[in-house]
Amino acid sequence: LEEECRWVEAQNSKGECGLVPEDYIQVSRFFVIRVCAYVGEEDDDGEWDEEWDDSRSTGGDGDTPVDEDGGATGHNLHSHRKRTLSKFPFSKTPNPELYLLAKLPPKGKDRLPIYVTDVGPVWLYPESPLDCVVADPKKGSKLYGLKSYIEYQVTPNTTSRPVNHRYKHFDWLYERLLEKFGSAVPIPSLPDKQVTGRFEEEFIKMRMERLQGWMCRMCRHPVISRSEVFQLFLTYNDEKEWKTGKRKAEKDECVGPLIFSTIDPEAPELDSVEVEQRCELFSKFTKSMDDGVKDLLNVGNIHWKRCTGPLPKEYQKIGKAFQNLSSVFNTSGYQGETTLTDALTAAGKTYEEIAQIVAEQPKKDLHFLMETNQEYKGLLGSFHDTVAGHKAAIDKVKEADKMMLAGKITTQDKVTMGKRTSIMSYSLQAEMNHFHSNRIYDYNRVMQHYLEEQIRFYETIADKLKLALSQFTTL
Amino acid sequence: LEEECRWVEAQNSKGECGLVPEDYIQVSRFFVIRVCAYVGEEDDDGEWDEEWDDSRSTGGDGDTPVDEDGGATGHNLHSHRKRTLSKFPFSKTPNPELYLLAKLPPKGKDRLPIYVTDVGPVWLYPESPLDCVVADPKKGSKLYGLKSYIEYQVTPNTTSRPVNHRYKHFDWLYERLLEKFGSAVPIPSLPDKQVTGRFEEEFIKMRMERLQGWMCRMCRHPVISRSEVFQLFLTYNDEKEWKTGKRKAEKDECVGPLIFSTIDPEAPELDSVEVEQRCELFSKFTKSMDDGVKDLLNVGNIHWKRCTGPLPKEYQKIGKAFQNLSSVFNTSGYQGETTLTDALTAAGKTYEEIAQIVAEQPKKDLHFLMETNQEYKGLLGSFHDTVAGHKAAIDKVKEADKMMLAGKITTQDKVTMGKRTSIMSYSLQAEMNHFHSNRIYDYNRVMQHYLEEQIRFYETIADKLKLALSQFTTL
């Protein structure tokens, strides 16, 4: 027997068959196992409980959250921990190459067209963009007050009718989106879970801000935003509709690499060399951008610490030193002293105010810059998996001739593989173009915001100093 | 024999006699010794050489000057080392109490009147204030180039005719002023001597600036400015006049506490309680101000280091991070990318410029604030000696009754002591009022300068950021 990958036929839960590499036999269990995986996991309100999402008291159990930045500046909230737990008995890494020779289900109505425009392949964008507001976090409780949680109001611009969701609902949505679209569309992680202090005001505000950012990004995605599960999350009418919708989404079979079977690029098939080149280009870009973003986050973190730590302390000391000197001058007994001492005291107080302004400033400008870059760091991280899936498919295609010679696939199979990698490439290009246009918008916006706030900062200080200066006698 | 201070009669070099406490017998040698002290010390050009002022080469001998601030920021130039060497075989601490019962020389023509105005006792101020410019440092040499030195041009506003002086001439002037007026008028130290690197441009500039500051302060003093020795220094016509004048000044006998014998307060005699109270008030004030000034210098030094060290490095890193991200974006291949990348690069360069501005700023604002406070620290230090002399005199007066009972002094002596301490008190008051009016002027000026430069700093940055902002696309 040769030491080569063998292809075997596998059957999914619906009894449908497809050719699968033997190496992935464990992964292919997915098709059989995933439905049973939820049996018995639903509790009385139709939801599984996450012990690490709900804690019985506000104070928590004494565990302190890991501060990855190593600082005590409060900016540790900027670190998003990687999610490591999974409910599913299989790796979440998409394996899009499985799709290359799989027997596909018949084409349904939910098709995802790709058009070629002057920027290249793009998804079909809705005429009016979807958006939503996450607001009004409220403490709720269940089990006669034994368990408490925070509920957020989510209001889409389409219905303007708010729906309530807990963090774990967002997490459920994330899992569904990852499962269904993750092979083609990088799904950014949700903001961190946190063990302690979940009910502290600052944490809730920060989480809400990040859930808003995450939802906003999902709303802006043409594939995600029109998906049934996303629409359910935003617009369910009552508990019954929500529960029914949830069960339906969980039973959705068109998940994982099968998403590519729903994509229709209205463009000529690409050859394998071009597919590979484009994939390499994107891979290189996301890697470089990831480095650049991490560098900026690093510098921003150091700057944040200086601006909230030693720098305002120094301005405060300068302010105190001026006021101190003013107090001494006041004891001189010399006539005509007060004009100077009043001005000197005012100047000292001005520097104390400047200390306050400096310390508060990062929350006003650097915060948004950091959040955006943090979001992009996550996004680029999920891009890595998407690109890796494409690379694996390309490697498979490269083996096509050998496999054909060995009689493992037919000529028709090879043609199918080429056609499907072309579809995958169009999907990746549409996704990259979506990413680029969003990136240009986001970085334009965040840089403008940063610079505007910086200008306001320097002008505010200059104005305060002008006022302080005006108190001194003209010589 | 009682263990009490004994008063003995001492004779000065002119053969004049006075009553002196035996404890000070060493000090009284001054009157006898000081003329001979210079015999043989003049070299061929009529000046003694200071080995530690002239070094043979520019590079120095490898000794590094002590950096009292412990930093490598260049701001160590702000530390003025205490002068410890003395050419005279007696302590320079003025002992004004020696004057209380001394037999005084006949009143000469150089009288120093004190008037009482609404601010209290003041010296007689000239109608047009004296001023001078120290400029144009030039390297000179002597002994056929074996010795080199720096010569400064000093131009008084009275003659507008420049005279040349080396550092050691300023030092000679300082010694003369200290000797003649030090008991009544605190003479601030000259800027530091420095062993190595004396010919480096920055050092020469800094020394010139400080010599200018010192000369300016001396010019502003009504007693100093009209003195013969000071006028000689500023207005001598040729070498011959300079040498003759120097010899005359060195032979001046009206030095030390005898200066009080030339002071004529046109005001009623103060009683000893009032004298003591005023002295206490001044002592307390100078002590508090000294603390305040040192505190400000300390804070300023720390701030200087931050502004020239880590802070600009951080702005530079922010600038680099923006430019780095811009370079990455440029590789996207996405059309319409350049508007963002150009703007991002410009923003990055702006932060690099800001880094430069931040690093240069202390030289523009903090420098002057530090120099002024450094000058005041020196001034307050010399005030300490002046006030201590007055305190010693007051203590002596307190013993008057006891001394009278012990038959050591006569009733007339006691009256004389009271009269003379009153003169000393007026002198101290005139000096304090001179100090206060200068202080109010100086601190008004330095604070205005500091705030003006700070405003310019913040406005410059705001303007640069506005320009950077304008390059981003309006969304």
Residue B24 lies in a domain: no
| Count, residues in chain B | 475
Fill in the DSSP letter of residue B73: S
Q: What is the pLDDT of residue B389?
A: 87
Q: In what order do the strands lie in the sheet with A163-166?
A: A132-142, A147-156, A163-166
- Same domain, residue pair A256 and A284: no
pLDDT tens digits, one per residue of B178-206 = 999 999 999 999 987 655 565 688 888 88
- Identify all chain B residues contacting A328, using CB atoms and an 8 Å cutoff: 285, 288-289, 291-292
Closest CA to B86 of B120, B132, B37, B129: B37
> Rounded mean pLDDT of B93-104?
73
- Same domain, residue pair A258 and A352: no
Spatial neighbors of B310 by CB under 8 A, at least 6 apart, are A306
Structure tokens at B339: 């508007």
pLDDT tens digits, one per residue of B123-155 = 999 999 999 999 999 988 877 777 888 999 999
> Bridge-partner residues for B114, per DSSP?
B123, B265
Q: Choose among B317, B440, B465: nearest Cβ to A455.
A: B465
Residue A98 lies in a domain: no
Least confident of A240-249, B62-71, B255-264, B416-425: B62-71
A294 CA: distance to closest CA in chain B (Å): 9
Last residue of a domain, one of B232, B266, B300: B266
Last residue of a domain, one of A266, A290, A322: A266
What's the CA gap between B18 and B7, in Å, rounded?
10
Q: Are A411 and A328 in contact (CB under 8 A)?
A: no
Interface probe with A: pick from B313, B436, B475, most Cβ of A within 10 Å: B436
> Bridge-partner residues for A201, per DSSP?
none
Q: What is the pLDDT of residue B98?
A: 74
Interface probe with A: pick from B329, B337, B438, most Cβ of A within 10 Å: B329
Structure tokens at A139: 């403490």
- Side chain identity at residue A34, one-letter code: R
- Same domain, residue pair A219 and A287: no
DSSP B189-229: PPSPP-SS-TTSHHHHHHHHHHHHHHHHHHHH-HHHHTSHH
Least confident of B227-236, B358-367, B399-408: B399-408
Residue B369 lies in a domain: yes
- Percent of chain A scoring above 70 in pLDDT: 78
Last residue of a domain, one of A217, A234, A266: A266
Helix orientation angle between A272-308 and B310-330, rounded to the nearest 10 degrees: 160
Per the listing, tokens 């201070």 go with B5
What's the CA gap between B143 and B147, in Å, rounded?
6
- Same domain, residue pair B216 and B335: no
What's the CA gap between A298 and A71, in Å, rounded?
12
Least confident of A44-48, A131-135, A252-256, B167-171: A44-48
> Rounded mean pLDDT of A372-398?
91
CATH code at position B391: 1.20.1270.60
* Pairing label, strands A263-265, A112-117: parallel
Residue B5 lies in a domain: no
Q: Does the interface predicted TM-score (ipTM) exceed 0.90?
A: no
Q: Are A450 and A366 in contact (CB under 8 A)?
A: yes
Q: Are A334 and B436 in contact (CB under 8 A)?
A: yes
Q: What is the pLDDT of residue A385?
A: 85
CB burial readout B6-42, b (16+ within 10 A) else e: ebeebebeeeeebbbbeebeebbebbeebeeeeeeee
Helix orientation angle between B411-470 and A310-330, rounded to the nearest 10 degrees: 150
Helix orientation angle between B310-330 and B338-364, rounded to the nearest 10 degrees: 170
Range of the domain at B307: 270-475
Count H helices, E strands: chain B? 12, 8
Q: Are A104 and A14 in contact (CB under 8 A)?
A: no
Q: In what order do the strands lie in the sheet with B112-117?
A: B120-123, B112-117, B263-265
What's the CA gap between A190 and A210, in Å, rounded?
8
> Rounded mean pLDDT of A323-330?
96
Q: Do B465 and A451 touch (CB under 8 A)?
A: yes
Residue B41 lies in a domain: no
- Identify all chain B residues contacting A441, using CB atoms and an 8 Å cutoff: 475
End-to-end CA distance of chain A: 100
Give B72: exposed, middle or buried? Use CB within 10 Å, 0-12, 13-18, 19+: exposed
Spatial neighbors of A369 by CB under 8 A, at least 6 apart, are A296, A300, A446, A447, A449, A450
- Identify all chain A residues contacting B472, using CB atoms and an 8 Å cutoff: 444, 447-448, 451
- Same domain, residue pair A276 and A186: no
Spatial neighbors of B412 by CB under 8 A, at least 6 apart, are none
Q: What is the pLDDT of residue B192?
A: 77
Task: Report the run of H or E that residue B451 belongs to, with start and end.
Answer: helix B411-470
Q: Are A459 and A354 in contact (CB under 8 A)?
A: no
Q: What is the pLDDT of residue A5?
A: 41
Check whether A361 has a pLDDT greater than 90. Answer: yes
- Same domain, residue pair A214 and A286: no
Average pLDDT, chain B: 81
Which CA distances in Å does A429 have to A121, A123, A284, A285, A319?
Answer: 6, 9, 14, 13, 57
Report which of residues B229 and B38 the model is more confident about. B229
Check whether A33 has a pLDDT greater than 70. Answer: no
> Bridge-partner residues for A121, per DSSP?
A116
Spatial neighbors of B257 by CB under 8 A, at least 6 apart, are B94, B95, B96, B97, B98, B99, B102, B183, B389
Residue B1 lies in a domain: no
- Same domain, residue pair A258 and A315: no
Number of domains composing chain A: 2
> Rounded mean pLDDT of A26-30?
34
Closest CA to B46 of B189, B179, B241: B241
- Identify all chain A residues contacting B310, using CB atoms and an 8 Å cutoff: 306
End-to-end CA distance of chain B: 100
Q: Are A269 and A419 in contact (CB under 8 A)?
A: yes
Q: List, as ranges, residues 267-306 from B with C-beta within 8 Å of A.
A: 281, 284-285, 288-289, 291-293, 295-296, 299-300, 302-303, 306
pLDDT tens digits, one per residue of B331-368 = 998 988 999 999 999 999 999 999 999 999 999 999 99
Q: Are A420 and A96 in contact (CB under 8 A)?
A: no
Structure tokens at A270: 């690409």
pLDDT tens digits, one per residue of A150-194 = 999 999 999 999 999 999 999 999 999 999 999 999 999 998 765
- Same domain, residue pair B185 and B246: yes
Fill in the DSSP letter of residue A96: G
Residue B139 lies in a domain: yes
Structure tokens at A375: 């979001």
B131 CA: distance to closest CA in chain A (Å): 17
Average pLDDT, chain A: 81
- Same domain, residue pair B145 and B259: yes
Q: What is the pLDDT of residue A90?
A: 37
- Same domain, residue pair B363 and B236: no
Residue B188 lies in a domain: yes
CATH code at position A168: 3.30.1520.10
What's the CA gap between B453 and B366, in Å, rounded?
9
Q: What is the pLDDT of residue A335?
A: 85
Closest CA to A383 of A230, A217, A151: A217
Q: Choose among A293, A335, A454: nearest Cβ to B118.
A: A335
- Same domain, residue pair A243 and A213: yes
Among the residues of A124-238, which ranges form H helices?
167-181, 201-220, 222-225, 228-235
- Same domain, residue pair A71 and A220: yes
Structure tokens at B145: 């180039």
Structure tokens at A161: 């009718």
- Identify all chain A residues contacting B295, using CB atoms and an 8 Å cutoff: 321, 324
